[in-house]
């Protein structure tokens, strides 16, 4: 991967995505003692950055592959992202989802014409059902985060951010499956002088933090975080990138996530999901070390259930 290849990824997906705005807040800058630039992927199509990676992955398939469709397992934003990207490109998307997923998430996938296949609510059942669809339909499997094309697509948010603000000292992202973090790291390597990438992670599901320290991909025993997009673990495609280049992973408590989310809602008047707030919570936690720096924060998405808020 090099700068030109990443630029090509961005150019390829541009017609399918929004260039999202970068917002700032004087008040939040004062609180942080730094200049914070929020890359607002909550305003992205389907409400999250995931459309970037999903689009890139589908566009990179051969015509023969496209004719047979794509399959993934996800109950969150990637399910919607792959469905919408597939619809735009004219490809079928099979989405394997646990039976017990809330109806609202199923409805969102159906809005984008994704074909839902229900399975038991455990990772083995999800993977088996996805394999079954691969064999039966010939569909191409696209993992939500552990796929090179997905990783490169997710990185394009940081390309736009660095194009607008080339002198960032840091970019903060949340880390869950690792796609956004690895993509952002690759972009920072090639599109900045010396911009470091730091991840925020819920303490409750700190598999990435532990992986970094053990050198192996660790998993979570708990899934007890409000940041429901960050309950998954890293994979063999993104972990080597993260292990080699991430500056650090900062763990944040649940109340710090909720406080950061509330601060953004109240002061910036934008709706961000808890996973997005994790990255900003890490900035707040680390602010003594960030004085007067220029900091990008990837606001990963804005899909929240308004009837179930933590305030």
* Separation CA 17–CA 167 (nearest Å): 25
* Separation CA 158–CA 212 (nearest Å): 22
Comparison of 123 and 309: residue with beta carbon closer to a copy of itself? 309
Minimum CB distance to a copy of itself, residue 42 (Å): 5
SS3 147: coil
Comparison of 20 and 146: residue with beta carbon closer to a copy of itself? 20
Q: Which two tokens stand for residue 227?
A: 């940041």
SS3 275: helix
- Chain residues in the site for a copy of itself (CB under 8 A): 21, 42-43, 47, 262, 265-266, 269-272, 302, 306-307, 309, 311
| Cα Rg, the chain, nearest whole Å | 18
Minimum CB distance to a copy of itself, residue 262 (Å): 6
Minimum CB distance to a copy of itself, residue 23 (Å): 8
With 0-12 CB in 10 A as exposed, 13-18 as middle and 19+ as buried, what is 296?
buried
Comparison of 16 and 239: residue with beta carbon closer to a copy of itself? 16
HSE, side-chain direction, 13 A CA sphere, residue 215: 0
Minimum CB distance to a copy of itself, residue 305 (Å): 9
Comparison of 136 and 305: residue with beta carbon closer to a copy of itself? 305
SS3 86: helix
Minimum CB distance to a copy of itself, residue 160 (Å): 17
Rounded to 5 degrees, what are φ and ψ at 34? -150, 175
């Amino acid at each position: 991967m090099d700068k030109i290849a990443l630029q090509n990824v961005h150019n390829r997906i541009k017609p399918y995505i929004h260039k999202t705005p970068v917002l700032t807040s004087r008040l939040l800058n004062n609180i942080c003692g730094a200049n914070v630039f929020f890359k607002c992927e909550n305003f992205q199509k389907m409400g999250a950055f995931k459309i970037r990676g999903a689009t890139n992955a589908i566009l990179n398939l051969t015509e023969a592959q496209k004719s047979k469709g794509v399959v993934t397992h996800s109950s969150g934003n990637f399910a919607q992202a792959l469905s919408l990207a597939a619809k735009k490109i004219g490809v079928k998307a099979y989405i394997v989802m646990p039976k017990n997923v809330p109806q609202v998430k199923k409805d969102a996938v159906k809005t984008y014409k994704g074909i839902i296949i229900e399975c038991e609510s455990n990772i083995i059942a999800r993977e088996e059902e996805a394999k079954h669809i691969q064999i039966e339909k010939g569909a191409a499997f696209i993992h939500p985060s552990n796929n090179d094309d997905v990783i490169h697509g997710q990185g394009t948010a940081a390309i736009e951010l660095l194009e607008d603000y080339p002198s960032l000292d840091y970019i903060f992202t949340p880390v869950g499956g690792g796609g956004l973090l690895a993509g952002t790291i690759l972009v920072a390597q090639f599109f900045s002088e010396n911009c470091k990438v730091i991840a925020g992670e819920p303490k409750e599901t700190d598999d990435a933090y532990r992986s970094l320290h053990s050198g192996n991909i660790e998993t979570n025993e708990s899934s007890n975080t409000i940041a429901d997009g960050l309950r998954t673990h890293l994979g063999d495609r993104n972990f080597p990138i993260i292990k080699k280049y991430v500056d650090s992973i900062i763990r944040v408590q649940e109340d710090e996530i909720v406080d950061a989310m509330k601060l953004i809602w109240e002061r910036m008047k934008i709706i961000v999901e808890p996973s997005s707030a994790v990255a900003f919570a890490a900035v707040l936690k680390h602010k003594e070390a960030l004085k007067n720096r220029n900091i990008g924060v990837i606001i990963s998405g804005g899909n929240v259930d308004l009837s179930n808020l933590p305030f």
